Amino acid sequence: VLLAERLRMALGYGGLQLHYQPQVDVKTARVVGVEALLRWNDPVLGNVSPARFIPVAEASGQIVALGNYVLDAACKQIAAWLKAGTPLRVAVNLSAYQLRQVNLVEQVASCLRRHEVPPQWLELEVTESQAMINPDQGRQVLAELAELGVTIALDDFGTGHSSLAYLQYLPLQRVKLGREFLLPSPCRDRLMEGIVHMAHALDLEVVAEGVEQNDQLQLLRDIDCECFQGWLHSRAMSADQMQAWLAVA
């Protein structure tokens, strides 16, 4: 109850901030986009992870307001970076509840309009478990979102209960591989190579997450994985830090 109340207050006073983790082209080392990650530093509770407060937002009926806040903040930031001459694609995580929100498509569309953001700068990340709760409904919503011109990435690919056969029917541009795929294991390299080949066969780009070590990046080069995120390059940073970083890059 306390967490839900503090969250309601934080939404009111603007205590939630988006930070941005670079997505880096494996071949050129250029930053090609960022993933927006929510940060909450509460005066009473301290830092609270989204892994903890997103479920609370869902259970306490605040997820739609929170999700709309995130979409708005992301579009506002896209507009600012466009204006500064340092355009960046921003990927926003959607929660399962948002996918079932009746006016999600209209929310996204009006957000883009409000901030005069061309849709190709916004990416939406959904996990495969979310997309597959109700595959036909998931596919329908994602198709309408794709129709707006935003891109869709499948988050945590290969870790939920998904139907591989169904993947090709979703309007996806990218799949994201969780960092567990890069942990040392006897068949790590072959598994990664197989997944990347399969994704390419479906015309999907691959973003590897959680890259911390040089040998992991070397593997991504060897198997033609396009893109990575991870502490080897940088952690999520504030918009100001990102802006300063873009200015010198």
Given the rule CB under 6 A, which residues bind ligand G?
A: 21, 37-38, 49-51, 54, 70, 93-95, 155, 179, 209-212, 229-231, 236
Beta carbon of residue 217, minimum distance to Mn ion (angstroms, whole number): 19
Question: With contact defined as beta carbons under 8 Å apart, do 194 and 173 qualify?
Answer: no
Using the rule CB under 5 A, is 155 a contact of Mn ion? yes
Give the C-alpha separation, 61 to 154, whole Å. Answer: 25
Is 128 a binding residue for Mn ion by CB under 5 A? The answer is no
Query: Whole-angstrom Cα distance, residue 181 to residue 163?
Result: 19
The answer to whether 208 and 225 have CB atoms below 8 angstroms apart is yes
Residues 89-118 that bind Mn ion (CB under 5 A): 93
Span 211-230, contacts to Mn ion by CB under 5 A = none
Task: Enter the DSSP assignment of 55.
Answer: H
Does residue 123 touch Mn ion according to CB under 5 A?
no
Show contacts with Na ion in window 189-218 (CB under 5 A): 209
- Residues numbered 36 to 95 that lie near Na ion (CB under 5 A) are none
CB 192 within 8 A of CB 181: yes
Residue placing its CB nearer to Mn ion in the complex, 6 or 195: 195
CA distances from 200 to 139, 142, 223 (A): 20, 20, 11
Taking residues 113 to 152 in sequence order and writing x for each that binds Na ion by CB under 5 A, - otherwise, the string is: ----------------------------------------
Distance, CA of 205 to CA of 226 (rounded, Å): 6
Q: Could you tell me the smallest distance in angstroms from the CB atom of residue 85 to ligand G?
A: 26
What are the strands, taking DSSP E only, across 56-106? Answer: 89-93
172 touches, from ligand G, Na ion, Mn ion, none (C-beta below 5 to 8 Å by class): none
51 binds, among Na ion, Mn ion, ligand G, none (CB under 5 to 8 A by kind): ligand G
CB 156 within 8 A of CB 187: no
To 5 degrees, how large is the angle CA 40–CA 111–CA 226? 75
156 binds Na ion (CB under 5 A): yes
Residues that bind Na ion (CB under 5 A): 155-156, 176, 178, 209
